[in-house]
Amino acid sequence: PHRITIAIMSDSLRHRVTLALILFLSFIAFASYHKGTGSTVWLQWTTLVIMLTFGYVFDKAFTNSSMFVFDPDADNWRRKTEALSR
């Protein structure tokens, strides 16, 4: 039971840290934009925020009790589905 609780807490902590980082870097991206200077530094920060956002969405979508399992061997999938149908 303790291992499951720790895993849930670490997921929650990881999600909170990722959201805080996305929020902080979003503020940096908005703060680095200056219309008159012609600087493109804000694009670099925005790109980082976009990558973190997609990583967060992917993490939330595929890390739960029914985690995504990649198994390219068709025979393994056939055995698993046949076992479930019986």
Q: Are 28 and 45 in contact (CB under 8 A)?
A: yes
Q: Which amino acid is at 47?
A: T
User: What confidence tens digit (pLDDT) does each residue in 28-76 have?
Assistant: 999 998 888 878 899 999 999 999 999 999 888 877 656 666 667 778 7
pTM for this prediction:
0.65
CA distance 38 to 17: 32
Kindly calculate the radius of gyration of the chain based on its CA atoms and give it in whole angstroms: 20
pLDDT confidence band for 10 (50 / 70 / 90): confident
CA distance 4 to 65: 10
Kindly give, in sequence order, each residue whose CB lies less than 8 Å from that of residue 14, ignoring residues fewer than 6 positions away. 59
Q: Are 15 and 59 in contact (CB under 8 A)?
A: yes
Above 70 in pLDDT, residue 1?
Answer: no
Angle (CA) 38 40 44, round 5°: 170
